[in-house]
Amino acid sequence: MFSLSLALPMLFTMLIHATDSLSYALRLGGLRTRRIALAISLAGILLLVSRTSNMAQGPMIGSLVDAATRGANPHFATQLHWLMGAATIGTALAILCFPTMVKLSSRMVVHFEAAGSIPGMVRQLMKRSKLRNATYYITAPSWEMAKRLVQHGMPRRLMLLNVAVTAIYTTGVLSSLYAAYLYPDQAVAASQSTGLINGMATILLTILVDPRISLLSDRSLRGEIRLNRMNQIYGCMLISRLFGTLVAQVLLIPLAYWIGWIVSMM
């Protein structure tokens, strides 16, 4: 059931979701340094790499699909659930690293402004003195941080939207591949529906979630919202991402059947 052909995609999935989640740290670091435009630029690079990498997930687990189609892999559905478990682990690691990454991101944004370019910033950060000082910013999550998440009310609607978007994004590629296994006569069309599913998640994120976060960030820069409130909001967004990866476990098979029904109607 578990093999190298599964371990590599699991590691890849874990890194994708950890990187995607830590883009929030860059945005919060930009708020703390009042350089939000620079922070969004750096966060956009992380998101671009993460979402492009997510598209490469399909070919990496192609051998699992082929083996399942030949009847040589009876545990295909279980392996897909393991892959989504790797997404949950990656998000959980991002939560543990979040306080550290916020502090490092604050410095990274300042270095980006000073260097004027990504390569220049990387050269600055790779200096031995900078690497040695990085240990100063290591901060472990505390119980006080967890308690602050529920103070002054949680952004429930925003969190629910983020759960839905994360769930669709997490299971999109895997449900398409499972649909290809369930409907071998429509395997090519089902596997190519990956872009449709992820496109839906991206549209929902772009229209419903990101503008709200940007609005709150602007209000924070104008002094209408305290920075502590933004710390709480970004923390809640991370928690909702974690729950989204868990909801994806439930959506895997129903979404695969929905994809199969769609492609069979074409």
What are the tens digits of pLDDT across the range 152-174? 677 888 899 999 999 988 888 88
Average pLDDT over residues 36-57: 73
Return the percent helix, strand and coil in the chain, to nearest 5.
Answer: 85, 0, 15
Q: The pTM is what?
A: 0.86
User: What pLDDT is recorded for position 95?
Assistant: 92
Whole-angstrom CA distances from 65 to 52, 81, 139 are 21, 14, 42
Whole-angstrom CA distances from 137 to 61, 93, 97 are 37, 17, 11
- pLDDT category at 112 given cuts 50, 70, 90 is confident
**Domains in the chain: boundaries:** 4-265
Average pLDDT, the chain: 81
Asked if 161 and 208 count as a contact pair (C-beta separation under 8 A), the reply is: yes
What are the tens digits of pLDDT across the range 116-166? 777 777 777 777 766 677 677 777 777 777 777 777 677 888 899 999 999
